[in-house]
Amino acid sequence: MDPAQVLPHINASLNALASALLLAARWQIAQRHIEAHRRLMLAALVVSALFLVGYISYHYAAPIFVFRGQGWIRPVYYALLISHVLLAALAIPLIAATAWFGLRRMDARHRPLARWTWPLWMYVSASGVLVYLLLYRIY
């Protein structure tokens, strides 16, 4: 099977898995289970990195897939896509810095940054799944 046909589905699955890991990690830290939180966040980082490799590979090799929705959904889709792409670009250095501070237990720097990074990362992961659904499944 052609990778260009399979990668969008794999990438969406990785995004969905990253969202689930982020939610579980958030729950664990709320329960003060730091080690479980750390493991889940590292897993989310690995899954998101795999997604990024797949995303870049797909867009390097595959033709542009045009959104076929018409009417009110079209501007909604493009607003979602634009916010997803812009915030994903912003999220990458924030995720890296937050992970760095967390792994080194620099909690005074990790916590305030994580309060911004986690919701941003969660939005990017979840909106990525929604973009996939709109582009490849619904329209």
C-alpha distances in angstroms, 118 versus 19, 21, 33, 66, 72? 10, 11, 17, 30, 30
One-letter identity of residue 124: V
Contacts of 117 (CB under 8 A, 6+ apart): 91, 94, 95, 97, 98
pLDDT for the residue 128 = 97
At 11-64, the pLDDT tens digits run 999 999 999 999 999 999 999 999 999 999 999 999 999 999 999 999 888 888
Q: Tell me the residue type at 105.
A: R
3-30 vs 34-61: helix crossing angle, rounded to 10: 160
Domains and CATH numbers, the chain: 3-138 (1.20.120.80)
